[in-house]
Amino acid sequence: MPVEVLPEVTLVMPKIDDLFGNVKWGKRICLDLDGCICEYDFPKIVKNFFGVDLSKQMIFAYDLADVLGVAPAIINTMFKEQVYGKPSFIKGAIDTLQEWKLKGHEIVIYSNRIKYMGYDGLARWLVEWQIPFSRIDGGQGSYDVHIDDSPTKLMGTDSKIKLLFDQPWNQQCHNITGKLQRVNSWQEVRNVCSLLDT
């Protein structure tokens, strides 16, 4: 009995730009996840991993390796255990993102999670936890607004408005260029961004 040989089939997935290239977005809003949308109990994480008590005020820098005096690889291992779980959302974050999505704004996620999860893993995680987004990138685009808890990431993007989401680890930022605008809540973020809608 002859064996049927099926033709070889190659599936070609469209590029993300092909899918969204013709979409007319409102404003382009770039934002970070951890420290802006999701909050974590970093003293508890450090206690569980290192067995060291640390208050929020003792976290004086964005880079925990600098704060703790350990190699970045160790911090990466610690975070790998945290980033895949259920997030705790900062009050007002998800409601604001949902509203922006309905208004047609492009929500661009720019997160260090990419080094742990990759783009596909991060996209699946965002969908799983129903976090509205339009795309994920590495901060290389041009944005109307960038919201982040890292002064370094904010200053590295081409963004008209740079909102520094207030956290203990960015309190020592002197903002000598005057380009960073500190916000303490998602209500403050909404107030600043509502001016873009007028």
pLDDT tens, position by position, 4-57: 544 454 334 444 454 555 566 799 999 999 999 999 888 888 999 999 999 888
pTM of the model: 0.83
In this structure, the strands spanning 88-89 and 38-39 are antiparallel
Judge whether residue 125 has pLDDT over 90. Answer: yes
Let me know whether 107 and 191 are in one domain.
yes
Where in the sequence is the domain holding 47, given as residue range(s)?
41-81
| 108 and 171 inside one domain | yes
46 close to 54: Cβ distance less than 8 angstroms: yes
Question: In terms of domains, do 32 and 45 share one?
Answer: no
Report if residue 2 sits inside a domain: no
31/72 same-domain check: no
| C-alpha 115: how far from chain center | 12
Q: What pLDDT does 6 receive? A: 44
* Sheet with strand 135-136: strands edge to edge: 135-136, 106-109, 28-31, 142-148, 158-165, 180-183
Count of domains forming the chain: 2
Do 77 and 96 belong to one domain? no
Numbers of helices and strands, H then E, in the chain: 8, 8
